[in-house]
Amino acid sequence: MQRQLINPPGTEATYDRLHFSQAVRAGNLIWVSGQVGIDKSTGAPAEGMDAQARIAFEGVRTVLAAAGASMSDIVELMTFHTDMRTDIEEFVKVKDEYLPENYPAWTGVGVSQLARDGLLVEIRVVAAVGN
């Protein structure tokens, strides 16, 4: 089975500098790398969980679209949170806007930090196209 590397326009520098793809598609399965809430206009983490979660979910949507999929194709959601106790309810509200039905399997993991100071959440998904 062939692998297709998915790197939408605007993500080439990440591929070149950090040596990873935004997603990999093999057959009808797509593994999306963790998406975070970096504000593209400032280059810094957005302010608060709501803003970061929205940016990260928009990143997921963009990567899935580049791979020929949509949010409704997500079968697994894995999220990493720096403060699950205080931010989880706000995160769930945003999640439910992007995934309003046919909920995927979801694992939420509390972590002490993410790849960059100020990040509150990272979202990765697996999608199955055509199921």
Structure confidence by residue, pLDDT tens digits, 1-30:
799 999 999 888 889 999 999 999 999 999
Please provide residue 29's backbone torsions phi and psi, each rounded to the nearest 5 degrees.
-105, 140
DSSP state of 118: T
- Count of domains forming the chain: 1
What 3-state DSSP class applies to 54?
helix
**Both structure tokens of 102:** 């046919």
Which tens digits make up the pLDDT trace of 36-57?
999 988 999 999 999 999 999 9
pLDDT band at 131 (very low <50, low <70, confident <90, very high): low
CATH of the domain at 72: 3.30.1330.40
| Domain around 98 | 3-128
